[in-house]
Chains A and B, each alone.
Chain A
Amino acid sequence: DTAVSQTPKYLVTQMGNDKSIKCEQNLGHDTMYWYKQDSKKFLKIMFSYNNKELIINETVPNRFSPKSPDKAHLNLHINSLELGDSAVYFCASSSWTSSGANVLTFGAGSRLTVL
């Protein structure tokens, strides 16, 4: 069973289109994230939800809108796609360890290519 699953794995689309990436976790974690990894492998946090509530919202264009229908799902919708949005988007979830640390479990990534 895949712990954190994202769909689609690959997405190729034209500039200006709107697209969504879905994420689901079956770990029972309370917190979910979206990270963006660019072509230089730089990984940047975008959003975080805890029990469906938005808790982290980095400086991300408002064309990006996350939605969490329940604590096991966090979807990412992107409007008016631009060339610079091309990247690999990773979903992750976390829970606190017994020692009070926040450890992430990542999905396999969704590679978005905007033409």
Chain B
Amino acid sequence: AQRVTQPEKLLSVFKGAPVELKCNYSYSGSPELFWYVQYSRQRLQLLLRHISRESIKGFTADLNKGETSFHLKKPFAQEEDSAMYYCAFRDDKIIFGKGTRLHILP
């Protein structure tokens, strides 16, 4: 069963516009969730995790247990944000969503 769902394969946003990458999970307990990012020709890297409640590169993500969501948000998109973004969920292992490609339009 799909534990992590990223409904958008591709998201195109104009530079300066707000960004929201959606992630929904299915789990009845207290999940541990992450966002990973992969820039072109680079390795995947951790962007943020919900436990630390930090903001990295202007991105934030809030765990909403009622909606079982962990959407990634940024108020003003920058061209360097263009990348592949993966939501990940901790079960006994890390389970990744299928990813969303974010394309920032000039």
Do A and B originate from a single complex?
A: no
